[in-house]
Amino acid sequence: MFLIIMISISNFSNLNDFLNNFDEEIIINSENKEMNILGLYLKYWKTGYEDYKTTANIMRSELYKNFSADESVLLNILSETIPFDYFKPQKDLEEALNIYNNSIILNSMYIYFAYTDWEKSRNLIKLKKINGAISKIEQLKGKTPFTSYYHSLILWNSKIYQNKNEAYNELKAMYINHKDNQKILELLIKFCYSLNKLDEIISYSELYKNFSKKDNKILLLIAKTYQKNKNYKKSRDLIQNIINNTNKNNVLASSYEILGDMASTTSQKINYYRLSLKNDPKNPTVLEKLGRTYYTGNEKNLNLARIYLSKSLTFDPNQEKTYKMLISIQKKYRIYAFFSYVLPLFLISVLLIFILIHKKNEKEIIVEKIGEKINVKNEIMRSEKNEE
């Protein structure tokens, strides 16, 4: 009876708001101090910064009476979790769920850690457990932003359950009633971009700009959407703003790549693709784009085209078109090299040999004439001597 009472209490506890707001940054900055503690522990797990954990421990010691039994169990688990390790928290949460099977927050946190594990392992048993936890929460609370978010991800990414249209529809339905949920909107923009729903992204972009802290990857998708819609000015303005406000190599690389795609001249394209590779030297896509740009720009750049396309294939061998282009370039380069280097060198060599032979012949003629003059002079001298 005691356990049933505690489980019932946990359904109305302070941490269940996680179902509506599950972004760590938002949780940390919310007015709910109990949620602040949860957010701090999660940030500690994601970053490894000890200050997050220390602050969470201090706040928890002051507010420990505000937590239900299952919440206290969760916070104990999180306080002992090692950063980036998602195995131990899963194991501990599974054990806790044997006692608090109907705990909203324990089921939620199991999904949170287990999905990270499943993304890497693609373990079917793990996936079924995640779906079971989602079903449990929805039996108790109905559909929520948190459960729709993860269920949509499963429908999108799982080969067994994959149904991208259903994933999109479920997430969009949730977004309509939760337009202030940034994570829902960001995932919806990703889905729309993949499904080529460009007009929707344009409308969402107006709402997205109202959030104070934005994800650069989402901003890049919006910029690429403007690019696809041939609104190049908006795309360039957005990308320039991203470049001015980040020092992350992957974001800078993607930004310069898009600028290269939109550039109108060969020299501009080459410049932007080079800047992209400066931030991500092993990107096969940009290496291929730079090689192709050199190829179409000037025959004198065939060797550079050959070098960059070869590098692209080194990092991603599964590029049939790139391979065919490289073969074509190598043939042209051999012809170009022959006429540009081999043949001129051969002709120069022949000319030098001709000049040397000519000089040699001239020298021989001069020597011969000198010899003749000497002989004539000797003959004259002998004749004069005989006359005496």
For the chain, what are the domain ranges?
1-155, 282-378
CB neighbourhood size of 313 (10 A): 18
Question: Closest Cα partner for 170 from 196, 152, 153?
Answer: 152
Q: What is the pLDDT of residue 366?
A: 61
Q: What is the pLDDT of residue 340?
A: 60
CA distance 18 to 109: 9
CA distance 254 to 238: 13
CA distance 313 to 318: 7
Q: What is the pLDDT of residue 281?
A: 96
Q: What DSSP character marks residue 211?
A: S
Q: What is the pLDDT of residue 3?
A: 36
C-alpha atoms less than 13 angstroms from C-alpha of 365 in its C-beta half-sphere:
6
Residues of the chain with pLDDT under 50: 1-12, 338, 343
> Which tokens sit at 128?
């079924």
Q: What is the pLDDT of residue 254?
A: 97
Alpha helices in 16-86 (DSSP H): 24-28, 33-47, 50-63, 69-79
C-alpha atoms less than 13 angstroms from C-alpha of 195 in its C-beta half-sphere:
18
Q: What is the pLDDT of residue 355?
A: 72
pTM of the predicted structure, to 2 decimals? 0.80
In 60-75, which positions are buried (b, 16+ CB within 10 angstroms) versus exposed (e)? Answer: beeeeeebbbbbebbb
Q: What is the pLDDT of residue 386?
A: 57
Q: What is the pLDDT of residue 104?
A: 96
Q: What is the pLDDT of residue 11?
A: 42
**Single-letter residue type at 305:** A
